[in-house]
A and B are shown apart, each in its own frame.
Chain A
Amino acid sequence: MKIVLASLVFLFLMYSAFIYQQPVKEETMPEVVRGKMIWQEKNCTACHQLYGLGGFLGPDLTNVYSQEGKGAPYIKAFVQGGTATMPAFNLSEDELNCLVAFLKHTDESGSADPRKFKIRHDGTIAGN
């Protein structure tokens, strides 16, 4: 009993360390980190998702940066103007640029569009 428990805890700690150390492909600029903090401080997550995670009142924004007809000016327009549901956010030009840099970063990290994945016979999926 104690041995099983100790082994599980040990495995868990090893696995945690392994997860923390996972290499990542993106290089990050300071404005991206700043943009991420603005994303958190304004709680955009309450209505939007990144990689499908977040609140569901608004759309997923992981790849909004590269979607056809969207991009930086489009994002800024939404944040400044708001919509029927989304409040307008009073941000400086500098803050807006950081927010856009963050959404560019999420876009470059991978795709959250479920249509881009391939389903394999064993139930796993391929993509990203």
Chain B
Amino acid sequence: MEQLPETNLPATKKIILTALALLLLGMFFGILGSLQYVVPGILKTQLSFEKIRPLHVSSVVFWIMLAASGGVLTYAGERSGKLFSRLLAKIQWLLFLFSVVAILTSYMLGIFGGREYWEFPPLLAIPVWLGWLLFTINLVGTIRTFKQQPVYVWMWLTGAFGFLFIFSESYLWMLPFFQKSIVRDMTVQWKSYGSMVGCWNMLVYGSGIYLMEKISKDPTPARSRMAFALYFLSLTNLMFNWSHHIYTLPILPAIKHIGYLISMSELYILGRIIYKWKSSVKEARKFEYQLPYRFLIAADVWVFLNLILAILMSIPAVNLYTHGTHITVAHVMGTTIGINSMLLMAVVTDVLDNTCRSLYIYQKKITQGLVTANLSLFVFLGALLMAGIKRSQWQMSDHRVPFGEMMHNLIPYFILFSMAGIVLFGAFCVMVYPLVKNVWACYTVRQPQSTVTPSFN
């Protein structure tokens, strides 16, 4: 295959930069959405909530998909010395870019037709699916052999192939057999969504484990029996625990019980985290000076906190109270920001470091951003949890006040939520800015010798 010229930024980095742009854009839309909770009716004519919510959610979902696939391809290439095909990566990037622009534009114009999280007209799912297919082919080609691979390679493969199947499954609603019944439709919808998140987690956690191996230079943990046992436990959860999304749906009780039982296996992971706490802290001291490692630690803390919430919410009796309230939103954003985004920031910082120059000079700034992000995330989620508890009390009360009045009473929490969201956004800007600036420098900073062309690695 034709080699791209040296001065060309590799497509994997373009994918990652696009992901970063979507992260910031998505957070900005999130802020506009939160304002509609604070000032009912604001932006109603320009960007009403039915537009803002998908703009926010799709942008951040694509941040996760793009950053994860870009990171995984980079790491897979790093391991085997070379990416299978730079051309495939480039086409993947172009397909995603096209899809994202078309999807966000359709939302702005108020053109929908899909369902929650994928509200765009179903036709646009095709380039997304194709882009992912290219990613999967490229990943398999880069890995080359399935023999003797560490756990993260299996996680990447699971995430890549799993998504292809599950994304297709989430479009079964277009067949009359599924469309006809709201119960069947919603069951399959949440079956697929539950597993889909699991697929992304496989990619993101897998990259986290790889990065840890790279930092610690210790290859044993990712090849241990324990690592594989935990992988199978997560895979079982990915496949069978989704029914906690739909405990109130009139489906066969056995389906709910299976979800409940399997979810409880996560208690084992929780126990392990607590048990390994001390050695993790010791390890943390060793690698503290490394930037990506700091993100990994932040994600660790959020894994712990979110796992407790997730396990509680998987108990049907507790779920009855939390379901349909902002506690769910806190859980979703808690995991997507606290865990996924922190891990991906670790990956992204690692991948973009030394693009033209080292990120070392920004270390202090990025760390300040990281600390601010985590503190504001704490307040952000706390405010959502409080609003959720109040809404839950309302849902369960025998004498409900009108919906509008209940929402009005929650405004103080929404103000806190919105303000914390703005600080969170600012903190992410502080972290992302040096990364982008570094890449930009490749084009603008004059090298000492005019003959030197910028090098991208």
Judged by a CB distance under 8 angstroms, whether B169 is at the interface is yes
Which parts of A98-128 form the interface with B (CB within 8 Å)?
Answer: 105-106, 109-112, 114-115, 117, 119-120, 123-125, 127-128
Report the Cα distance A84→B48, complex, angstroms. 11
Interface residue count on the B side (C-beta < 8 Å): 72
Contacts of B257 in A (CB 8 A): 124
Are B50 and A47 in contact, with the CB atoms below 8 A? yes
Given contacts A22-B187, A123-B317, contact A56 B260 (CB under 8 A): no
Contacts of A5 in B (CB 8 A): 232, 235
Q: Tell me, in angstroms, the Cα distance from A16 to B170 when the chains sit together.
A: 12
A26 within 8 A of B: yes
Cβ–Cβ contact B249 & A8, under 8 A: no
- 27 CB < 8 A contacts A-B: A5-B232, A8-B236, A19-B191, A19-B255, A22-B252, A24-B183, A33-B179, A45-B116, A46-B53, A50-B182, A50-B186, A51-B246, A51-B249, A52-B248, A56-B329, A58-B403, A59-B403, A60-B324, A85-B44, A87-B44, A109-B250, A110-B249, A110-B250, A114-B396, A124-B253, A124-B256, A125-B320
Task: Check if A40 is an interface residue, CB within 8 A of chain B.
Answer: yes
CB distance from A75 to the nearest CB of B (A): 15
User: Which residues on A sit within 8 Å (CB–CB) of B395?
Assistant: 114-115
Determine the chain B residues whose CB is within 8 A of the CB of A93 once the complex forms. none
Known contacts A19-B255, A47-B50, A125-B316: A26-B183 contact under CB 8 Å: yes
Once the chains bind, are A16 and B169 in contact (CB under 8 Å)?
yes
Contact A55 B53 (CB under 8 A): yes
Interface residues on A, range: 35 or more
Is A54 in contact with B116, judged by CB distance below 8 angstroms? yes
Report how far A49 CA is from B248 CA in the complex, Å. 12
Residues of B within 8 Å of A112, CB to CB, are 248, 324
Instruction: Determine the chain B residues whose CB is within 8 A of the CB of A51 once the complex forms.
Output: 186, 246, 248-249
Hey, which chain B residues are within 8 Å of A19, CB to CB?
Answer: 187-188, 191, 255
The residue that A36 contacts in the complex, of B179, B246, B255, with Cβ under 8 A, is B179
Is A11 on the interface with B (CB-CB < 8 A)? yes
Residues of A within 8 A of B178 (CB): 20
Contact B191 A40 (CB under 8 A): no
Cβ–Cβ contact B323 & A114, under 8 A: yes
- Asked if A43 is at the interface (CB within 8 A of a chain B CB), the reply is yes
A32 to B182 alpha-carbon distance, docked (Å) = 10
| Top 6 A-B residue pairs of the complex, sorted by shortest distance between their CB atoms | A52-B324, A110-B250, A46-B50, A128-B250, A24-B181, A43-B50
Distance between Cα atoms of A33 and B175 in the complex (Å): 11
Near A by CB (< 8 A), chain B positions 142-192 give 169, 172, 176, 178-184, 186-188, 190-191
Residues of B within 8 A of A56 (CB): 324-326, 329, 391
Q: Which of B34-42, B133-141, B208-216, B442-450 contacts A (4 or more CB under 8 A)?
A: B34-42
- The listed residue (A26, A36, A87) touching B48 by CB distance below 8 A is A87
